[in-house]
Amino acid sequence: AQSVSQHNHHVILSEAASLELGCNYSYGGTVNLFWYVQYPGQHLQLLLKYFSGDPLVKGIKGFEAEFIKSKFSFNLRKPSVQWSDTAEYFCAVNAYGGSQGNLIFGKGTKLSVKP
């Protein structure tokens, strides 16, 4: 069965620190990859997505993610975090050719940024 692993449950950083959140998935075929973010008290929203092409994807608010097919990874990065980045981050995978509706999420990583 397909699965998504997020390595860190809770990450605490100071403002201006660099961020990297790990995400690995288990599926050997073609995948579409997503990072969603949930700010405190708000709904889940898309941060960035990868379908094909350049494996380095840029999203909103200075976030980027790199797809490394050989490592089955899609790590999220940001060079310098801000207090407003405090949120929970979810990696998600949709296996191409699988159920169109089945977006598989990781358990999430809670990011706390200290001002």
Partner 1 sequence: GAGVSQSPRYKVAKRGQDVALRCDPISGHVSLFWYQQALGQGPEFLTYFQNEAQLDKSGLPSDRFFAERPEGSVSTLKIQRTQQEDSAVYLCASSLDRGANTGELFFGEGSRLTVL
Q: Judge whether 24 and 5 are in contact, CB under 8 Å.
A: yes
Closer residue to partner 1 (CB): 75 or 94: 94
Helices (H) and strands (E) in the chain — how many of each?
A: 0, 12
Within 14-43, the residues that bind partner 1 by CB under 8 A are: 32, 36, 42-43
**How far are the Cα atoms of 3, 79, 84 from residue 16, in angstroms, in the given order?**
32, 8, 12
Binding test (CB under 8 A) with partner 1, winner from 11, 13, 17, 44: 44
Interaction site with partner 1 (CB under 8 A): 4, 6, 32, 36, 42-46, 49, 90, 92, 94, 96, 98-108
